[in-house]
Structure 1
Amino acid sequence: MVVDDHPMWRDAVARDLREHGYDVVATASSVREAVDRAKATSPDLVLMDMNLPDGNGTDATTAIRAVFDDVKILVLSASSERTDVLDAVRAGASGYLLKSAGAEELLTAVHDTAQGRAVFTPELAGLVLAELRGREREESPDPTAVLTPRETEVLRMVAKGLASKQIATRLGLSHRTVDNHIASTLRKLQLGNRVELTRFALENGLD
């Protein structure tokens, strides 16, 4: 389905797609039309403009994906504004292509999107990657959050290769107390031994 409020552009894109073997099941010029026609035709892929008379491509993307969570949506817009790009990605767009792209680039983008690949105009790719990495960091819980400050301190020393007796001396603790902290840390992190514990510490910047 092709969604764009400019009839000449919308019809030209639909025509190019048909000429290259794609079945264009519908076209739409507004958020309301896009949602209604998506429900009626169940498209596999939607080419979505960002600026629509009754809203924007983000609104339409959110509404369509609420009904069809597996539909692929490729934004095709004249806007390269950071907020537009990131809002589209957050709404579930599979890619974002500027209208300055040539016909061959558009067809390649449609093909790649249909195959499940993320497609972004080169100058926007870095922006999107940074956003996704930031989102991953926000969504990934800190695996060390379950540890007490003392357990974290002991873990850092284990990562440096110190034995329990050396750790006990440095921290002014008994050998048994250090071993208890290590055992508790292994249990909380669901690790099997000091080797795995050391690897965990290194991977999480606790060395």
Structure 2
Amino acid sequence: MSDQIRVMVVDDHPMWRDAVERDLTAAGFVVVATAATGTEAINRFQATRPQVVVLDLQIPEPSGVEVTASVLATDPSSRVLILSASGEQDDVLAAVKAGATGYLVKSASGAELVAAVQRVAEGDSVFTPGLAALVLGEFRRMNEPSTPPGEKLTERETEILKMVAKGMSYKQIAERLVLSHRTVQNHVQNTLRKLQMHNRVELTRYAIEQGLDD
């Protein structure tokens, strides 16, 4: 990995935390900090400013959900990937509402974890299979359709937005539309600007509100 991604690993089980750190380091990520509690996580995040936080939900207080909200309030450009033993609906939705852009259950393989950290760092949303539909369905239920502010989207921007809503990665969208990865990113950036949004999670939420994931 030429441009090394800075990661913090938060888990109160030392063996699990060490294993995750080992896998990520072996894959070329730079683990800048580890933490065992919510308080440690928040303090070390502020000190090291990792790009991605790999976070267990069930940690000594404050909880993983509170840590997620705190981390993103400190640095909205950071990404939080939940790695939890729980696949319970309430846990997943609480994490996503707090701003997490990924959620893996701990049965995921080392390779799946490495791929998820890479994708989350690039701005993608990553969910353990089965959880994505749950999250999308909940956002649709929570939000009434709203009128977008600002400029009208082009047909291509709307087309890409629909694919984002379905959980496709930029790479998959580029392959489907025979475009470069950079071109897809540019379209997404233009769409964010027009809709006055800040990241892919907000964009996905908006697309679902509009029913574009059907």
Q: TM-score band (shorter)?
A: 0.5 to 0.7
Q: Show the counterpart of 1:40.
A: 47
- Between the aligned partners of 1:83 and 1:55, the Cα distance in structure 2 is 17
Kindly state the Cα deviation for residue 57 of structure 1 after the two structures are TM-superposed. 0.8
* Correspondence 1:24 to 2:31: yes
Q: 1:96 aligns with which of 87, 103, 108?
A: 103
* Correspondence 1:131 to 2:138: yes
* Structure index of larger Rg: 1
The share of aligned pairs that are identical, in percent, is 51
- Secondary structure at the aligned position of 1:101 is classed as coil
Number of residue equivalences: 142
The 5-angstrom pairing of residues 103-142 of structure 1 reads 103-137=110-144, 140=146
Kindly state the Cα deviation for residue 55 of structure 1 after the two structures are TM-superposed. 3.2
Q: Show the counterpart of 1:80.
A: 87
- Secondary structure at the aligned position of 1:25 is classed as strand
* Correspondence 1:65 to 2:72: yes
Q: Show the counterpart of 2:57.
A: 50
- Between the aligned partners of 2:96 and 2:141, the Cα distance in structure 1 is 13
For residues 46-97 of structure 1, what are the alpha-carbon distances to aligned partners after superposition, in whole Å with 9 as ceiling and x for unaligned?
0010001123210110111110111100000000111110000000001100
- Between the aligned partners of 2:123 and 2:86, the Cα distance in structure 1 is 23
Cα RMSD of the aligned pairs, angstroms, is 1.7
Kindly state the Cα deviation for residue 137 of structure 1 after the two structures are TM-superposed. 2.0
For residues 175-200 of structure 1, what are the alpha-carbon distances to aligned partners after superposition, in whole Å with 9 as ceiling and x for unaligned?
xxxxxxxxxxxxxxxxxxxxxxxxxx
- TM-score when scaled to structure 1? 0.66
Kindly state the Cα deviation for residue 130 of structure 1 after the two structures are TM-superposed. 0.7
- Secondary structure at the aligned position of 1:117 is classed as coil
- Between the aligned partners of 1:2 and 1:39, the Cα distance in structure 2 is 14
Q: Which protein, 1 or 2, shows the higher relative CO under an 8 Å CA cutoff with sep ≥ 6?
A: 2
- Between the aligned partners of 1:105 and 1:89, the Cα distance in structure 2 is 19
For residues 125-152 of structure 1, what are the alpha-carbon distances to aligned partners after superposition, in whole Å with 9 as ceiling and x for unaligned?
11011122234426x26xxxxxxxxxxx
Structure with the larger helix share: 1
- Secondary structure at the aligned position of 1:112 is classed as helix
* Correspondence 1:6 to 2:13: yes
Kindly state the Cα deviation for residue 40 of structure 1 after the two structures are TM-superposed. 0.1
One-letter identity of the residue aligned with 1:90: K
For residues 150-176 of structure 1, what are the alpha-carbon distances to aligned partners after superposition, in whole Å with 9 as ceiling and x for unaligned?
xxxxxxxxxxxxxxxxxxxxxxxxxxx
One-letter identity of the residue aligned with 1:18: T
One-letter identity of the residue aligned with 1:126: A
Kindly state the Cα deviation for residue 13 of structure 1 after the two structures are TM-superposed. 0.4
- Between the aligned partners of 2:138 and 2:11, the Cα distance in structure 1 is 26
Consecutive unaligned residues of structure 2, counting only runs of 5 or more, are 1-7, 148-209
- Secondary structure at the aligned position of 1:137 is classed as coil
